[in-house]
Amino acid sequence: MMEFLSEILAQDFMIRALTGGALVAIACAMLGVLVFQRGITFVGDGLAHSMFGAAGIMALLNAMIGAATGSPANSGSGNYGAFFIWSALPLNVLVGFAMAWVRRTGKLRGDAAIGIFFPIMFAAGVLCLALRRNAGAPPLNMEALLFGSVLGMTPADLTIMAGGAVLIAVIALTWGRRIAYAAFDPDLAAMSGVRVALAEYALFGLCAAVVAFSMRLAGVVLVSSLLAIPAGAASLWRGSYGWQLLFASLFAATSVKVGLILAYWIDVPSGAMIVLTMGALFFAAMVIRAFMVPDARR
Amino acid sequence: MNIKSDPRETSPAIKVKGMSLAIEGRSILHDVTFTLERGEFLCICGPNGAGKTMLLKAILGLGKPTLGTVSLFGLSSREGRKKIGYVPQRKNFDRMFPARVVEVIAAHVSGAWPLMISSAARDKAAAALRIVGGEHLLDKELRDLSGGELQRAFLARALVADPEMLVLDEPMAGVDAKGIVDITALLDNLTKQRRMTVVMITHSLSVVEHCATQVIFMEGGTVMALGKPAQILHDPRIRETAFTGHDHEHAITSGKGEY
C-alpha cells in the first residue's frame, strides 16, 4: 500500500490533481452549504449546463475570429478544452446574475429560474458547436467538457484553479456569512444591515465561478455533485453553520482524494470515481446517523 | 455661543406622508399619513387584511412604497431602521437552518451569520435574553422552541442592539397568559423607564388600554382613525372590528401584571 501511495506521490500530474481537486472541492462544499440552506440545490446543475452553453459560444467565437484573421481555431485537444472553460467563466457569471435577476423580478420560487436557464443555455451550446462544426473548425474534446479531466491538468491550470478556489473559499468564510444570514431570513437580515438583493446576486455569481473552476475536476454532468452531496451530508447532523462548513469541506476534500486514488488504481475516469466516492460516503453517513440519532430512522 | 442641535436628534420617530403601496397592481396601502413622536407607544389595530403588517414593512423599508415618503428619526428607512429592533409576526426563518438562539442574536449585532460565538457576543446575548426572561434559551436550536419561546428569543434579538424604537407585529401571538403579562410589562417598562418608542400591531384591547399612548385604526389599507386611546376606543364600531376576545385578556386585567 505504501509503495502504491509513494508511486502516486511521485507523479507530478497526480500531485496537481490532488491539490487542485481538493481545493476546488472545498470551495464547492462551502458554497454548497449556502446553496443548500437557500433551497436552490439545483443551481449547480443549472450553472454547469449553462457553462456548456458558454463554452460552446466561446468555441464558436474562437472559430469565427480564426476564420476572420486566418489563424487556426483552437481545437481544445492539447489542453482538453481548458481555453474554452476559462474564457467562458465570465459569461457563466453573467448567466448566474441573470438567473438571480429573473428569480427576483419574476418572483419565481425555488429552482424555477434555474430550470428556465438550464435548457436554454444547453441548447445554445449545442447550436454553437454545430455552427462551429459547419464552419469547418476542428471538433472539441467533448468528453473532457462533459466529464472532466483533472489528471490532464497543466501547472498553469492548477494555478488558476487553486487561486480561484482559495479566493471563493475566503469570500464564503467572510462575506458569505451575510449570504447565510439572508438565507436564514431575508427580512431579519435586511433589518440587521444585510443587502439581501446583493447577497442573492453574489451567491449566484460565486456559484457560476466555482462551477467554472470545477469543470476540470468533474465536467458539466458531474460538477453539481460537488455542491450538493457534501452539503447534504453535513445537513444530516445537528451542528452550527460553522460546523456544517467544516464538515462539508472535510467530506469533499476526502472524497476527491480517495476518488482520485481509486481512479488511478483501477484506471477509470476520475470524475465518475470522485462522485461515486461521495455517494458512498453520503450513504455511509446516513447509516451511521440512523444508529447514532435515535429518531433518525422514523 | 449658539449651539444648534442636530435636527435628526429632535425629528419625529416616524413620519409617513401620503404613502401608498401596491403589489402586482393590487392596492395594499392607500394615502397613509401620520407622525409619531419619540417615546410614544403606538398600537396599530384593525381587522385582518387591513394592511397593518404591510404598513410596518413599508415603514421599515422591507416593502417599497409606490407613492409617498417615510422617514425614521429624520433619516431614510434604510438608514433609520438601524435604530430599530423588529419582531416579525410570522417567523419566516428557514426551519432547517442550523440556528441557535445565541447565533440569531449575535447575527443581529454583527450583521452576518457567526461562524463561532465569542464570549463577548455570548454575554451580550445572555443579557438580552435576561431582560425577556429567556436566559435558559441561549443555546437552544430555534426549531426546538415553542411559539412563546420563539417570541422571547426574537424580542431579545430586537433589544440586543439597544434600539431607540421597537417595532412588534402581534408579539402576543402564540404566547401563553403568563408570557403575555411579562411581555406587556416589559414593553410598558421600556417606554416609561427608557423612553423607548414602541410600535405594535395588536388585536388585544387590554394591551391597547394599558400600554398605548397613540392608536391607529386601519381598514381597507388606509388609516381610518388616529389619536389617543380614549378617543379611538370610544367608537363602538372600532371596538367591535379591531379587537378579538382572546383568553389572555383576563390575565392582563386580573392584576397578574403590574403596570
Give pLDDT tens digits for A157-166. Answer: 888 888 989 9
- Residues of A in Cβ contact (< 8 Å) with B81: 191
Helix, strand, or coil (residue A39): coil
Q: Is the pLDDT of residue A250 over 70?
A: yes
- Nearest one of A95, A11, A20, A113 to A52, comparing CA atoms: A95
pLDDT at residue A78, rounded to an integer = 47
How far, in whole angstroms, is CA A203 from its chain's centroid? 13
Helix, strand, or coil (residue A188): helix
Average pLDDT over residues B83-111: 88
Q: Is the pLDDT of residue A294 over 70?
A: no
pLDDT at residue B34, rounded to an integer = 92
**Band of the pLDDT at B29, cuts 50, 70, 90?**
very high
- Residues of B in Cβ contact (< 8 Å) with A37: 94, 96-97
pLDDT at residue B9, rounded to an integer = 67
Q: Is the pLDDT of residue A298 over 70?
A: no
What is the DSSP code (8-state) at residue B51?
Answer: S
User: Which segment of A112-116, A211-215, B92-96 scores lowest on mean pLDDT?
Assistant: B92-96
Cα(A181)–Cα(B105) distance, integer angstroms: 12
> What residues contact residue A116 under an 8 Å CB cut-off, 6+ apart?
A102, A108
Average pLDDT over residues B239-245: 68
pTM for the whole thing? 0.84
CA-based radius of gyration for chain A: 20
pLDDT at residue B1, rounded to an integer = 45
pLDDT at residue B244, rounded to an integer = 65
Single-letter code of the amino acid located at A240: S
More confident residue, A185 or A2: A185
- Residues of A in Cβ contact (< 8 Å) with B100: 240
pLDDT tens readout for residues A14-56: 888 899 899 999 999 999 999 998 888 889 889 999 998 998 8
pLDDT at residue A138, rounded to an integer = 79
Q: In chain A, pLDDT over 70 holds for what percent of residues?
A: 93
More confident residue, B89 or A27: A27
Residues 99-158 of B with CB under 8 A from A: 99-100, 103-104, 107-108, 111-116, 141, 157
More confident residue, A262 or A151: A262
- Nearest one of B218, B237, B227 to B29, comparing CA atoms: B218
Is A181 near chain B, with CB under 8 Å? Answer: yes
Is A187 near chain B, with CB under 8 Å? Answer: yes
**Band of the pLDDT at A110, cuts 50, 70, 90?**
low
How far, in whole angstroms, is CA B209 from its chain's centroid? 17
- What string of DSSP letters covers B216-232? EEEETTEEEEEE-HHHH
Is B15 near chain A, with CB under 8 Å? Answer: no
pLDDT tens readout for residues B38-73: 989 999 998 888 899 999 999 998 888 999 999 999
Phi, psi dihedral angles at B95 (to 5 degrees): -65, -25
Q: Cβ A181–B82 below 8 Å, yes or no?
A: no
Of B61, B98, B112, which has the smallest distance from its Cβ to A181's Cβ? B112
Residue A110 is placed in which grid cell?
Answer: 425555488
How far, in whole angstroms, is CA A196 from its chain's centroid? 24
Q: Is the pLDDT of residue A264 over 80?
A: yes
**Band of the pLDDT at B247, cuts 50, 70, 90?**
very low
What's the mean pLDDT when you consider all of chain B? 84
Q: Is the pLDDT of residue B113 over 50?
A: yes
Q: Cβ A191–B62 below 8 Å, yes or no?
A: yes
Cα(A229)–Cα(A35) distance, integer angstroms: 11
pLDDT at residue B15, rounded to an integer = 94
Q: Cβ B100–A240 below 8 Å, yes or no?
A: yes
Q: Cβ A39–B81 below 8 Å, yes or no?
A: no
Cα(A82)–Cα(A84) distance, integer angstroms: 5
Is B98 near chain A, with CB under 8 Å? Answer: yes
Q: Is the pLDDT of residue B8 over 60?
A: no
pLDDT at residue B251, rounded to an integer = 45
More confident residue, A274 or A218: A274
More confident residue, B3 or B212: B212
Q: In chain B, pLDDT over 70 holds for what percent of residues?
A: 90
Is B84 near chain A, with CB under 8 Å? Answer: yes
Cα(A82)–Cα(A30) distance, integer angstroms: 24
Average pLDDT over residues A169-177: 93
Q: Hey, of B81, B105, B115, which one would you mutate to test binding to chain A, going by the most A CBs within 10 A of its CB?
A: B115
In the A/B pair of chains, how many CB contacts fall below 8 A? 80
Which of A66-82 are b and which e, b meaning 16 or more Cβ less than 10 Å from the residue's Cβ?
Answer: beeeeeebbbbeebbbb
Of A178, A184, A245, which has the smallest distance from its Cβ to B111's Cβ? A178
More confident residue, A87 or B13: B13
